[in-house]
Amino acid sequence: MSRECVRMVKYDEYQDSLECSFEGEEDTPMETLLGSVKQNYSFDLLLETRRPEQTFQQYKPGGTGCCRGVVVLPC
């Protein structure tokens, strides 16, 4: 699978929604991306995949997305 067909997304457990992706932030350290997250704020990072002919859905904070083809990565 090519790198263009995978991306990391943030899943908000409290809102039960996919909150955002980290496209364009591949060179940004995770501590910078998640630096403003409070310790009591619970979320998961998911690896989303797509087929080469598909496009990724855009997620808006508070929105709900479809979780097909994802692998849960421990934080």
Tens of pLDDT, residue by residue over 1-20, are 788 888 888 887 777 778 88
The model's confidence at residue 75, banded by pLDDT at 50, 70 and 90, is: very low
Averaged pLDDT, 46-64: 80
Under 8 Å between Cβ of 46 and 9:
yes
Tell me the two tokens of residue 45.
Answer: 């990072």
Chain-centre distance for alpha carbon 70: 10
